[in-house]
A = this chain, B = another copy of it.
Amino acid sequence: MLIQQHIRVTVDAVVFGYSAKQGISVLLIKRKIPPHIFKWALPGGFVHNDESFEDGIKRELREEAGITINYLEQLYTFGAPERDPRGRIISIAYYALVDPSNFKLAPDTDAEAAQWCPIDELPFLAFDHKEIIALAQERLRNKIRYEPIGFELLGKKFSMAELESLYTHLLGRSVDRRNFQKKILSFGFLKTLPEKQKHPQQGRPAQLYSFDEKKYHALKKEGIFFEV
């Protein structure tokens, strides 16, 4: 039984960014071709015949937004027969974590505009992209409970308060400052830097930390647990 397939394959990315002001944001692009022309959508596009999914994602993100990715992981493959009006098009969705302060958004080819949108203020989105974001958010919320991937959303140096605020946003609830610090430091994958935060807007300058990837990977091998 040989059936001629007409299925096309896209990759789409849910790119998460974090800033103290806006909280968790997602990168959206405004479509400049049909279908759903001028609607907001996830960055992504058709996979080339000879490239891996990850290469495809990175190419699209370069083309559409010019960003630097800290973490990239496959999320889920969406393939409902009616999800795209152009015919059978499946989407292999990835999610990515970036530090938005690291670069300026620079839309290039397929997208009219690339923009950060706070996760709680999403506009109407093309295709099933809202569903994809919802799944990515759930995955992220689960994942940070047993792997410290939250660090990928921060810059190289950060204060304990910034880290705590990030987790507060990710978990959707507040945590006790003292218990949080105790727990995080007990893992031993934070380096205490010999410098303090410069020019706080108000109050005492905070100790700065950085993430020690070497120590983290050593810990990870013996199985980490990370409930905060």
Contact = CB atoms under 8 A, between A and B. Distances in A.
Given A49-B81, A77-B92, 11 more contacts: A5-B46, A7-B7, A7-B47, A9-B9, A47-B79, A49-B88, A50-B81, A52-B79, A53-B77, A74-B76, A79-B92
A9 B1 CA distance: 15
Contacts of A109: 1
A137 to B, nearest CB: 16
Closest 5 CB pairs of A and B: A77-B77, A7-B9, A53-B79, A77-B92, A50-B81
A66 to B, nearest CB: 17
A80 interface: yes
Nearest to A87: B49
Interface residues of A, number: 25
A144 to B, nearest CB: 14
Given A9-B9, A74-B76, A49 B92 contact: no
A7 B7 CA distance: 8
Question: Secondary structure of the A side of the interface?
Answer: loop
A90 interface: yes
Interface string A84-118: 00001010100000000000000001000000000
A138 to B, nearest CB: 12
Contacts of A76: 74
